[in-house]
Chains A and B, each alone.
Chain A
Amino acid sequence: MSDYNGQAGDGMNWQPGLRESYIFDRNTIEEIRRAASQGIYDIRGFGAKRKLPHFDDLLFLGASMSRYPLEGYRERCDTSVTLGTRFAKKPIELKIPITIAGMSFGALSGQAKEALGRGATMAGTSTTTGDGGMTEEERGHSEILVYQVLPSRYGMNPDDLRRADAIEVVVGQGAKPGGGGMLLGQKISDRVAEMRNLPKGIDQRSACRHPDWTGPDDLEIKIEEIREITDWEKPIYIKIGASRPYYDTQLAVKAGADVIVLDGMQGGTAATQDVFIEHVGLPTLACIREAVEALQEMGMHREVQLIVSGGIRNGADVAKALALGADAVSIGVAAMIALGDNDPAYADDYAKIGSAAGFYDDWHEGKDPAGISTQDPELSKRLDPELGGRRLNNYLRTMTLETQTLARAAGKSDVHNLEPEDLVALTIEAAAMARVPLAGTDWIPGRSKDGF
């Protein structure tokens, strides 16, 4: 699916009179040809690539006659956030409201996991394990590490539960709510195979349902078990893919979550069917207010913290997510890019595998020229974990500064004081989803008194 229409001028053989179909565009035609030759759906990494209502469709108003701004460089604007204040004996304290999302060892190289740990620790934030268990690289370099409990339970063990700083029960992922996972055989090295108790070289499917609980009532008991095993010390997160955010948020609170991670459909993945990535779930923008209102109705907003992810790229996205009521955000794809994924320096290597820097998304194949989404020892060596860590830290710092800049302009001494009132929408869709007025009007579609 692409966004251009009519006489696309960038085609190689285009000449006046050739009109490209809007619905059968080049990507669509190519996909039909590919399906006809291979007989299997396209699997890829990255998040949704189609155009969706997103944070770009919102603007901050900034201070004016009736609002008093803060001085950009001098006046304090806090960014820290505490997660797990509801039940955990040891809540975690992040210096910035941006965390690193769960990305599995297996999908990513050991070096990439180490680089994420280094960068996040420098910036004062957490990283998250992923499907495939906890590695020494990550535990060793990540001061605050969130340990995922996934349906596959690959590598799950009580020692890692106890040495985690927080635990995240993954119910779903924005890229594929209702879907399981797949790590193709070519990425199954000896080490990955051993960590997952499976033979080398075979496709590893991750189940879409947890093996030992089925609904929210069971999950409540499962969480009690995890708390008992870890002596009620650790914050417990529940991660959900955005599909029914209002009800899922309320059920997650009922099930005993300290923190809810809400991942919109733009959320990245290491390997999922393209049809799933592009056609299932709600855009990130459409689910934040639903979740926040669910929390507010239960008197749990800020008591149960909300982490939002799915397409966060810069400080503006962070500030807008916080203004809509999130306590923090989480990043996956952007963190990989900061480490060096899709680096133009590897242009020749991308060309050799039929891709190009800026477009590469076949992360499941394990041939990543940047050495990030691979288990190939030679390719993995290309990523220097120290350098990658520094780059990630720079990027996280930049995003934080940008967030503070926007918050100060709106007169806030803490980025968490941003609120929907600071925002307007550029499109009717965004206004309806984010529940802020269309710019230049007082109209919030679906919310205004006259019923529109």
Chain B
Amino acid sequence: MTTATDVEVVDLATTPLRELNQRLHDGAAGGPLRWRIVNPNGAHAVAVGVDAPFEIEIEGHTGYYTAGMNKHAHVRVNGNVGVGCGENIMSGTIHITGNASQACAATGRGGLVIVEGDAAARCGISMKGVEIVVKGSIGHMSAFMAQSGALVVCGDAGDSLGDSIYETHIYVRGSVEGLGADCIEKELKEFHREELGRLLTAAGADAKVDEFKRYGSARRLYNFNIDHAGEY
């Protein structure tokens, strides 16, 4: 019998990835709630498609799409992650202690993704409701076509931030190399201060709300207008 405190350890040096993911999927019906995955050695698609309130700890660096499409699970990666970590996350949390490669939390629809280090280009691209807190800096084209949710950056942001953005709220503490089409600096209203404060607390970030600037959509590309044709 397993109990809630048991930790199921899976060694990817000896267990095929397929077996790990299958066990995580089958486990939604019962079994251990806590998982520890060791020796990921940069494997792609580790713990993807999980649909259960598991606590999953991954010891080491992972490849592409770590915890992709996560639902309910709380995933912690003690290391760096490759491209598309937490892509299309639905709910739950993903906490990365190192750096994240490109397209972190791309198209995410819910949940919270925390990056202790930096995130590369296209962080939060096409995000649809996910909340992302990056304690370091983010690369260019981040929050491209970002639809909803919030992106908090405690460091700096690269070029073309929020290009063609819709309704996502972006908060940056440091410098912004450049804003993308239709993305502008906006007033930090009470609602935003609360949202930002909540996210900083949730991520355990050592930063103050007043240090941030907010960016969002000028909403000038929402309905086609010939006078803005060059920006589309």
B49 touches A156 (CB 8 A): no
Contact of B224 among A159, A203, A207, A211 (CB under 8 A): A203
Q: Which of B87, B90, B144 is most buried by chain A, counting CB atoms within 10 A of its CB?
A: B87
Contact of A221 among B64, B88, B109, B226 (CB under 8 A): B64
Interface size, chain B (Cβ < 8 Å): 44
A230 touches B106 (CB 8 A): no
CA distance A198 to B128 in the complex (A): 8
B45 touches A228 (CB 8 A): yes
| Interface membership of B208, Cβ < 8 A | no
B90 touches A212 (CB 8 A): no
| Interface membership of A274, Cβ < 8 A | no
Cβ contacts B199-232/A at 8 Å (1 or 0 each): 0000000000000000000000111101001000
List residues of chain B with CB within 8 A of the CB of A162: 49
B44 touches A224 (CB 8 A): yes
CA distance A222 to B83 in the complex (A): 10
Q: Contacting chain A: which of B17-25, B31-39, B111-119, B189-197?
A: B17-25
- Chain B nearest CB from A188 CB (Å) reads 10
B69 touches A205 (CB 8 A): no
| Interface membership of A56, Cβ < 8 A | no
B45 touches A224 (CB 8 A): yes
| Interface membership of A36, Cβ < 8 A | no
- Chain A nearest CB from B17 CB (Å) reads 7
Known: A212-B107, A225-B65. A197 touches B48 (CB 8 A): no
CA distance A38 to B227 in the complex (A): 12
List residues of chain A with CB within 8 A of the CB of B109: 156-157, 197
Residue of A nearest to B226 (CB): A39
A197 touches B226 (CB 8 A): no
- Chain B nearest CB from A413 CB (Å) reads 40
Cβ contacts A212-234/B at 8 Å (1 or 0 each): 11000010011011001111100
B44 touches A221 (CB 8 A): yes
| Interface membership of B125, Cβ < 8 A | yes
Dominant SS among interface residues on chain A:
loop
B166 touches A156 (CB 8 A): no
A153 touches B64 (CB 8 A): no
A161 touches B106 (CB 8 A): no
| Interface membership of B129, Cβ < 8 A | yes
List residues of chain B with CB within 8 A of the CB of A211: 87, 103, 106-107, 122, 125-126, 144
A229 touches B83 (CB 8 A): no
A158 touches B103 (CB 8 A): no
- Chain A nearest CB from B169 CB (Å) reads 14
Dominant SS among interface residues on chain B:
loop
| Interface membership of A65, Cβ < 8 A | no
B125 touches A225 (CB 8 A): no
The residues in B between 93 and 114 inclusive whose CB is less than 8 angstroms from any CB of A are: 102-103, 106-107, 109
The residues in B between 77 and 95 inclusive whose CB is less than 8 angstroms from any CB of A are: 83-84, 87-88, 90
B224 touches A229 (CB 8 A): no
Known: A156-B88, A158-B71, A207-B126. A222 touches B147 (CB 8 A): no
List residues of chain A with CB within 8 A of the CB of B224: 40, 184, 203
The residues in A between 165 and 218 inclusive whose CB is less than 8 angstroms from any CB of B are: 184-185, 196-199, 201-203, 205, 207, 211-213, 218
B88 touches A198 (CB 8 A): no
Q: Which of A185, A199, A232 is most buried by chain B, counting CB atoms within 10 A of its CB?
A: A199
List residues of chain B with CB within 8 A of the CB of A40: 224, 226, 229
List residues of chain B with CB within 8 A of the CB of A212: 65, 83-84, 87, 102-103, 106-107, 125
| Interface membership of B57, Cβ < 8 A | no
Cβ contacts B46-85/A at 8 Å (1 or 0 each): 0011010000000000011100110100000000000110
Known: A203-B223, A229-B49. A213 touches B68 (CB 8 A): no
CA distance A218 to B129 in the complex (A): 25
| Interface membership of A152, Cβ < 8 A | yes
A157 touches B90 (CB 8 A): yes
List 6 A-B residue pairs with CB atoms under 8 Å apart, sorted by A's residue number: A152-B126, A158-B51, A197-B109, A211-B106, A222-B65, A231-B22
**Which 10 pairs from chain A and chain B are nearest by CB?**
A229-B49, A212-B84, A197-B128, A202-B222, A158-B69, A153-B107, A225-B65, A225-B45, A211-B125, A212-B103
Q: Which residues of A contact B (CB under 8 A)?
A: 38-40, 152-153, 156-159, 161-162, 184-185, 196-199, 201-203, 205, 207, 211-213, 218, 221-222, 224-225, 228-232
